[in-house]
Amino acid sequence: DQRETSACVKHEGNFDGVKVSVVETPGWFSDPTPSDWIKDEILHSVSMCSPGPHVFLLLVPICRSFTEKDLKGLVEIMKPLTERVWRHCMVLFTWGDWINDVPVENYIVREGKELQELLEKCGNRYHVLNPKSSDDPVQLKELFQKMFVMVTQNKGWFTTKHTKRERADSDSTSATKQRMLTEDEWNKREQNLIDKMLE
């Protein structure tokens, strides 16, 4: 579902015993010069995932071409997060039923250099979702397995100086301020999460 949203929306749930938070952000297609508010929303999405997001899923619908304008727009939106963000990115192809039985690798080659460049920036990490199999838990389980591998390789979450400062400001003004966790405590929590993923 390629719904459009004008502001970040956070969803929470549970998958296979692991608590999952997903932040839906405004779309980015076909705009090589995205508005400042979209960039601000992308930065805001990072601060909504304390202590930081583990994975950025970049949704690319197979039912339409991925153009040079799409690539430029996406790269521009991600700039405030620095080049380091790409280590935490994965392309999620939606509308996988459009290519029928054609291997996704063939689709990637046929689609051209722009899509291949995006995948290269993401470390060639991708997954395909088929809406006709939305009730099939296998495709979701495979997606989470790929994300868990990436989290393990990155040894934790993504964050920026901007989001650290924003969280600090938020904590200082909160009426129910919680005790700040030290970096060691966050690292311990992170390792426990990774261990649980690998069980």
Residue pair 41/7 in contact by the 8 Å Cβ criterion: yes
Please report the pLDDT score of residue 115 as a whole number: 97
Closest CA to 52 of 199, 192, 146, 189: 189
Residue 21's DSSP bridge partners are 12
Please report the pLDDT score of residue 33 as a whole number: 64
For the chain, 199 residues long, the average pLDDT of each consecutive 10-residue run is 70 88 81 74 84 88 92 89 92 92 93 96 96 82 92 78 46 37 56 62
Please report the pLDDT score of residue 181 as a whole number: 42
Dihedral in degrees, nearest 10, Cα atoms 135, 139, 142, 143: -90
Please report the pLDDT score of residue 127 as a whole number: 97
Please report the pLDDT score of residue 95 as a whole number: 92
How big is the chain by its Cα radius of gyration, in Å?
A: 18
pTM of the model: 0.77
For residue 12, the surrounding DSSP H or E stretch is: strand 9-15
Residue 53 preceded by cis peptide, ω within 30: no
Residue 14's DSSP bridge partners are 19
Residue pair 10/21 in contact by the 8 Å Cβ criterion: yes
Domains, the chain, ordered by start: 9-198 (3.40.50.300)
